[in-house]
A and B are shown apart, each in its own frame.
Chain A
Amino acid sequence: MQLSRRTFLGGGLAAAAVAVTGTPLISGCAAGKKNQAAANLAVKLPTYTRFTGVKPDLPGTDLVLDGFLKYPANPLKAITDKPGDGQPITFMTNIPGAIPPAADKNQFWQALNERLGSELQISMASNDEYKDKFATRVAGGDLPDVINIPVDTVQIPGLVKAKCMDLTEQLSGDAVKKYPFLANIPTQYWKGCVFNGAIYGVPVPRGMSRTSLPLYRADLLAAKGIKDPAPKNFQEFFDLAKEMTAPKQNKWAWTRVPLSTIRQMLEVPNVWKEDGGKFSSTYEHEAQLEALEAARKMVAAGVINPDAFNDKATARKQWFNGGIAAFDYDSFVAWNQYYADNTTDEAFSVNTLDVPGFAGGQGAPWMGSALNNVTAFSKDSKHSVETLLKIANWMAAPFGTEEYLFRKYGVEGRHYSLVGTDPVPTKTGVVETGIGLQYVSDSALALYWSGKPDVPRKQHAIQEKVAPRLTFDASYGLYSDTQSKKQTQLTKTMTDLENQIVQGKKPVADWTAAVKTWKSSGGDAMRTELEKAFTDAAGK
């Protein structure tokens, strides 16, 4: 069988695995597909038991994240036993930053192994290349004990059924209480770990921390005499952008076209919307044309950095850091990152706009995607499922515990120094701790910024404000085979067109034709599959 890299990565994984291993990944999956959604819903999800050992300064809810003004003094040692079994445990993951020093030169890694009671051998790849590595190792039948499965992996149900441990018995319902920090992950996140009527993984939760809003440089706006901006509609939002634009001084309001924000102003759905069992896609929404028209107006008015369409995220972040642009559409994680990039600039300050309605009133921001990845355990692992779950539980110890402090910041003196009770990472700390532990398992993000209590305050305030209006992706937790295979390519086509339209290179009217093509190339199939999954689940 001749298999090019492109076709393989484009969805040939299962076929290749069949050819190579003789084991169809989707065997069993196809037979059970009919009632899969109902079976998934029948699974009793792990009982959510909120950890109360650490009291947040700004208490959250199931949606709003807990906020901390400083790191608690004398962090609680939450786990006394070493979770490992003395044997090396292998883990494969992507890492978001630079390559950390290897274990023999990395004191954080060595200290981690000591604490875990097992050597954690980590096979890493950069974000972009992880999928290549993952797919090859799946097809090569060479999986580690602990596997980071990206949520957009093709045909996850078949994959986990063929290769991963069924964790239902250990995690379903009250059984999860044996692992208190896994039980501390809210129930909704577990929905994304259920396939073939069983729990196949541990979630790495994101949700609210990934919710994106219009961030702005409060210091730059204040210099122009604008304090606490709160545009009441699109026109005011646009006017504010115009005010912050001065092309002659190499300054633009936006790092990129705020099309998502405009869509949220118009209450366009977050990926998929469900209404009475009928699904409709964000692309089909009637307000799309108006959103594109408005975005086009902003581009034409020159309030967007002219390089916005050519450069990568790095450039966008540098414009915002350097004050070349005053607004950026990004998440709470990025908000923190901006502070990390600007620790020496005392005046540097970020805040966010609320999303108004297009013609007034309130907009409907989109809830961030629930999961970063699902962590599954290989069927071929020689470790007991309990050991692997204990490791995951250790990795999910929340903010305020001693385990969290070590996991995120390392060892005091080498990896961070304490200012009051706040840990301030050193350069060594940043480099050595970036080994991808957050993808084994994680607690929900806590709103906190070392030495700047104002940051979590602002973040908590805006989260409380937008939480009741958040729009969720209705397809979360429902499996569509077409979506798993074609979503990436179809989204790219639509995004490319969107860019052409807002730049004025194609008419807005082209959108309607593109949506038709999108429907016939897979959009309608996705809808049918999602509706069926939804109905099956509802009917059980």
Chain B
Amino acid sequence: MTRRIVNGVQMPSWPMRGFKGLVLLVFCAAVIIPFVAVISTSIAPNKQVTDSGGLVLLPRSVDLGAYQSLFAGGVVTQALFVSIFVTVIGTLLSLTASCLLAYSLARPGFTAGRPILLVVLFSMLFSPGIIPTYLVVKGAGLLDSIWALIVPTMVSAFNVIVLRAFFANLPGEITESARIDGAGELKTFAYIVLPLSKAVLSVIGLFYAVGYWNAFFSALLYLNDSKLWPLQLVLRTYVINDTQLGSAELGTEQLPPQSSIQMAILVVSIVPILLVYPFLQRHFAKGVLTGAVKG
């Protein structure tokens, strides 16, 4: 039996292809099954969750009790809005600040560029630690303010370096011709450089967005008012605190099992950021590679 040749490459034999397919299937299952279990547990009826010891793969029926009790108190809804605000505004501010810094560092002839770059690199090697940062946040009057979730982490040195590498490698002729046409630095940056940088901006934007979306520790330290807590901190409290929702000393109406609630809030916290990925995916490989290879 001769094997099929496609584009000059001999295709593997059928048993081999079957084996490869099987291996891929196992890997896919390893990724998908836990995800399915998370969703199934969040919508499975209480009794099934309890009987199965906390994890359900195929729900017998759909019960949205866990989601209802999550959103009933208003805490999760409020936290969701906080998270969305912090992620959107934070990402925009971070991109603006990082791009401006990176672009100025990438411009040839900027005399203070090198010392500033060293300062940026220094912050990458030595982080300030919890208490000094806390004192700075306190000194800046940001305690108990939603800006405490954005300002201290607004500029990431790593992202600035990636952006700088990208800007530095844009052909100098383009900016030069813009200048000849009478454009100043800001205009060149806004109308010439940024439109050419969509790929890297999407990737860095995604890095920032995921960072803001997942951050919880700043909120734990800086925010006393739980009204300002982002979703991730609320999620952690649900997942970490092993007790049921209620107080141990009281009797109560039956609430959904703890694992249903945990899985429901996991779904709630994953979905928004998951929705952003497909739109940025096409830029992703290009953006990352640009920074990586030329940096």
Contact = CB atoms under 8 A, between A and B. Distances in A.
Contacts of A336: 248-250
A97 B224 contact: no
A324 B53 contact: yes
A362 to B, nearest CB: 29
Contacts of A334: 248
B238 interface: yes
Nearest to A307: B53
Contacts of A2: 126, 129
B75 A104 contact: no
A5 B130 contact: yes
Contact of B247 (A97, A103, A339): A97
B247 A430 contact: yes
Interface stretch (A111-119, A314-322, A484-492): A314-322
Interface stretch (B30-38, B157-165, B251-259): B251-259
Contact of A133 (B78, B220, B257): B220
Nearest to A123: B224
B251 A318 contact: no
Interface stretch (B5-13, B66-74, B93-101, B177-185): B66-74
Nearest to B137: A140
A98 B129 contact: no
A101 B251 contact: no
Interface in B222-257: 224-227, 229, 234, 236-238, 240-255, 257
Interface residues of B, number: 54
B165 to A, nearest CB: 28
B2 interface: no
Q: Give the bracket for the number of chain A residues in contact with chain B.
A: 35 or more
A315 B245 CA distance: 15
B276 to A, nearest CB: 26
Given A133-B221, A139-B131, A430-B245, A451 B251 contact: yes
Q: Which of B49, B224, B227, B238 has the most CB of A within 10 A?
A: B224
A126 B240 contact: yes
Contacts of A8: 129-131
B145 interface: no
Interface stretch (A172-180, A271-279, A419-427): A419-427
A126 B250 contact: no
Contacts of A434: 245-247
Interface in B193-241: 217, 220-221, 224-227, 229, 234, 236-238, 240-241
A344 B52 CA distance: 17
B242 A312 contact: yes
Contacts of B220: 125, 129, 132-133
B143 interface: yes
B51 interface: yes
Contacts of B227: 102-104
Nearest to A323: B51
Contacts of A1: 129
Q: Which of B236, B240, B245, B249 has the most CB of A within 10 A?
A: B249
B252 A4 contact: no
B225 A450 contact: no
Interface in A321-365: 321-324, 333-334, 336-337, 339-344
Contacts of B54: 314-315, 318-319, 322
A337 B254 CA distance: 12
30 contacts: A2-B126, A5-B130, A8-B131, A20-B132, A95-B237, A96-B247, A96-B248, A97-B244, A100-B75, A105-B74, A123-B225, A126-B240, A129-B236, A132-B217, A139-B134, A140-B138, A142-B138, A315-B54, A318-B50, A318-B54, A333-B248, A337-B248, A340-B246, A341-B244, A425-B250, A425-B253, A427-B252, A433-B250, A434-B246, A451-B251
Given A99-B234, A129-B236, A430-B252, 17 more contacts: A3-B129, A5-B130, A20-B132, A96-B248, A97-B246, A99-B238, A100-B75, A121-B224, A129-B237, A136-B134, A314-B259, A318-B259, A322-B50, A339-B251, A340-B250, A422-B251, A445-B249
The 7 closest A-B pairs by CB, nearest first: A123-B224, A102-B227, A450-B251, A430-B246, A313-B242, A126-B237, A318-B54
Interface of A: 1-5, 8, 16, 20, 90, 92, 95-105, 121, 123-129, 132-133, 136-137, 139-140, 142, 144, 250, 312-315, 317-319, 321-324, 333-334, 336-337, 339-344, 408-409, 422, 424-434, 438, 445, 449-452
